[in-house]
């Protein structure tokens, strides 16, 4: 598509309006944190849901509900107060390569973040840069895995400083930080701004971004993310990742 910058912005803004609606929640894992009202429940449910958000969307959502079921739909209480024996039922969990042992490690990692680092939001805020949270993701991962853990579990939190686009955790941060008045993103973290977010870059959003001339790099990695972020910040410096709805919607629902 050969569009002027203004035409492109108008087109994408219209797609944001189309997809950033309550209907979006029904087919998206963002529905999982929406089940809760307490801040810590929302952020833990969101983090776990985002962690397993790859593959078939129906199976993601089904397994997210199974996760919450295993945590008795009280994720924060379970994380903070679980005994070793409470973790046994979690061993049966599996989503793609994320298995029960990974799940148990994540519960312990989350307990460590709340008890030793004053919560997830605190860690991300501490290392935030003016217009990027990519260093925060790296530092969060380091803090999370200060506990004893299997090496294999580390791959379930991406590290942007190791060239990853970190799609799932950037999506999680969008959920926690953006408050778009449309009721999709929850916007419960007040210490960080939407302008600091990065677009969750995956196959769909990457392909659409290339077709629209927002991205030239062929790999979906950290360098591509920086390029896409810069392009989206020119369209809206205050809320660049609202365009995730447009890119995702065009890719998934319209096969653009």
pLDDT digits (tens, 9 = 90+) for 68-114: 999 999 999 999 999 999 999 999 999 999 999 999 999 999 999 99
| Percent of the residues in the chain that have a pLDDT greater than 90, as a whole number | 95
Q: Which pLDDT value is given to residue 255?
A: 87
- Asked whether residue 228 carries a pLDDT value surpassing 90, the answer given is yes
19 touches 248 (CB < 8 A): yes
Distance CA 256, CA 135 (A): 32
- Asked whether residue 191 carries a pLDDT value surpassing 70, the answer given is yes
208-226 mean pLDDT: 97
Residues 6+ apart with CB under 8 A from 222: 134, 160, 161, 163, 164, 165, 166
In the chain, DSSP assigns E strands to 94-95, 98-99
Q: Which pLDDT value is given to residue 44?
A: 98
- Exposed, middle or buried, 237 (CB in 10 Å: 0-12/13-18/19+)? exposed
54-74 mean pLDDT: 96
- Secondary structure class of 129 (helix, strand, coil): strand
Task: Write the pLDDT tens digit of every residue in 244-256.
Answer: 999 999 999 998 8
226-253 mean pLDDT: 96
Query: pTM of this prediction?
Result: 0.96
Residue 95 sits at φ, ψ, to 5 deg, of -140, 115
- Exposed, middle or buried, 150 (CB in 10 Å: 0-12/13-18/19+)? exposed
Distance CA 137, CA 127 (A): 9
Average pLDDT value over all residues in the chain: 96
- Asked whether residue 158 carries a pLDDT value surpassing 70, the answer given is yes
Q: Which pLDDT value is given to residue 1?
A: 63
* Burial annotation 188-220 (CB, 10 A radius, 16+ → b, else e): bbeebbbbbbbbbbbebbbbbbeebebbeeeeb
- Asked whether residue 166 carries a pLDDT value surpassing 80, the answer given is yes
Q: Which pLDDT value is given to residue 20?
A: 95
- Asked whether residue 4 carries a pLDDT value surpassing 70, the answer given is yes
Q: Which pLDDT value is given to residue 3?
A: 79
Least confident of 30-34, 72-76, 165-169, 178-182: 178-182
- Asked whether residue 24 carries a pLDDT value surpassing 90, the answer given is yes
- Asked whether residue 2 carries a pLDDT value surpassing 90, the answer given is no
Distance CA 25, CA 4 (A): 32
Q: Which pLDDT value is given to residue 49?
A: 98
């Amino acid at each position: 598509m050969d569009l002027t910058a203004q035409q492109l912005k108008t087109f994408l803004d219209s797609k944001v309006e189309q997809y950033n609606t309550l209907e979006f929640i029904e087919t998206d894992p963002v529905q999982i944190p929406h089940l809760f009202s307490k801040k810590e429940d929302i952020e833990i449910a969101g983090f776990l849901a985002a962690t397993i958000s790859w593959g078939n969307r129906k199976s993601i959502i089904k397994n997210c509900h199974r996760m919450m079921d295993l945590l008795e739909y009280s994720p924060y209480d379970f994380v903070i107060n679980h005994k070793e024996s409470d973790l046994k039922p979690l061993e049966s969990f599996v989503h793609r390569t994320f298995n029960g042992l990974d799940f148990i490690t994540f519960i312990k990692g989350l307990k460590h973040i709340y008890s030793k680092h004053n919560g997830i939001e605190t860690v991300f805020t501490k290392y935030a840069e003016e217009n990027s949270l990519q260093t925060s993701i790296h530092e969060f991962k380091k803090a999370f895995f200060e506990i004893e853990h299997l090496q294999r579990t580390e791959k379930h939190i991406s590290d942007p400083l190791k060239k990853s686009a970190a799609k799932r955790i950037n999506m999680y941060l969008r959920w926690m930080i953006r408050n778009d008045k449309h009721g999709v993103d929850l916007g419960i973290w007040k210490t960080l701004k939407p302008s600091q977010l990065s677009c969750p870059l995956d196959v769909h959003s990457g392909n659409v971004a290339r077709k629209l001339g927002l991205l030239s790099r062929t790999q979906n990695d950290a360098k591509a993310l920086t390029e896409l972020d810069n392009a989206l910040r020119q369209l809206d410096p205050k809320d660049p990742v609202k365009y995730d709805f447009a890119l995702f919607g065009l890719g998934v629902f319209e096969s653009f």
